[in-house]
Amino acid sequence: MSAALNGKTVIITGGGSGIGQATAILFAQQGAQVTIFDIDSQAIATTIQNADRTPAIRGWLVDLTNPDEVSAAFQNYFQIKPRLDILVNVAGGSGRRWGDGPVDECSLEGWYKTLDLNLNSTFYCCKYALEKMKTQKSGVIVTVSSVLGLVGGDEDFATHAYAASKGASISLTRSIAAYYAPYGIRANVICPGLIATPMSQRAQNNQHIREKLVQLQPLTGDFGSPQDVAQAALYLASDSAAFVTGSVLSVDGGWTVR
């Protein structure tokens, strides 16, 4: 077994499914001691089950939109683990169910819920991780954003609270990279395109969007896989990227290159 992360302690948010699950399993296979923070206990169990004989994954039930729960989770984590080497922020999701959409149509609930889900949760986790990393004078943060944090979406992707939250997570992570570099802390962003995950079921089931993939993601004309993003996260989290901080890595099959 390769061991690019041998002995590293890692927290992965949203590790119960999709990109988070693929990242948790890959990191454990690479020798990391992985802890998942997720709101779905069954999803956590599924990740651990899918990891098969990889023993280094544990899961904690945490509502990442609740700052008190996040604070308590990190406090409990540090009672067990003396350090945190890597934080991977994957947790997030669509706000369509609450009314996210174009600005003039977006509901106030959709706006607030989406920012809670995608931006505030990332801030809470970075806050408590950085308190420890700053003391350690080392650490890595990888934040999973979205191509919609970089470019505007047409009518098929006009969820403006989502785009705003993902764009803000890019700025937050780059600000962290700049400020905390003297403490030996690196922070980078991944911007996936359309990836075949539970979150993208609407797009996967939409024939019109599937037909657009030839233009949207011309490299393959298809959805990417969670493993594509997990491999990018592995690079940014590992010592192979020791001189990389503040970068925004698109994993999008060519979406943003046009």
Which two structure tokens, joined as six digits, stand for 255? 């979406």
**Residues 196-239: tens digit of each pLDDT:** 877 766 777 778 888 889 989 999 999 999 999 999 999 999 99
Between CA 215 and CA 129 the distance in angstroms is 39
What's the pLDDT score for residue 115?
Answer: 98
Contacts of 182 (CB under 8 A, 6+ apart): none
> What domains can you pick out in the chain, each with its CATH number?
9-252 (3.40.50.720)
Amino acid at 181: A
* Catalytic residue IDs: 162
Taking 50 as the pLDDT cut, the residues of the chain under it are 1
What's the pLDDT score for residue 161?
Answer: 97
Between CA 127 and CA 119 the distance in angstroms is 12
DSSP for 124-171, written as a single string: HHHHHHHHHHHHHT-EEEEEE--GGGTS---GGG--HHHHHHHHHHHH
Between CA 85 and CA 11 the distance in angstroms is 9
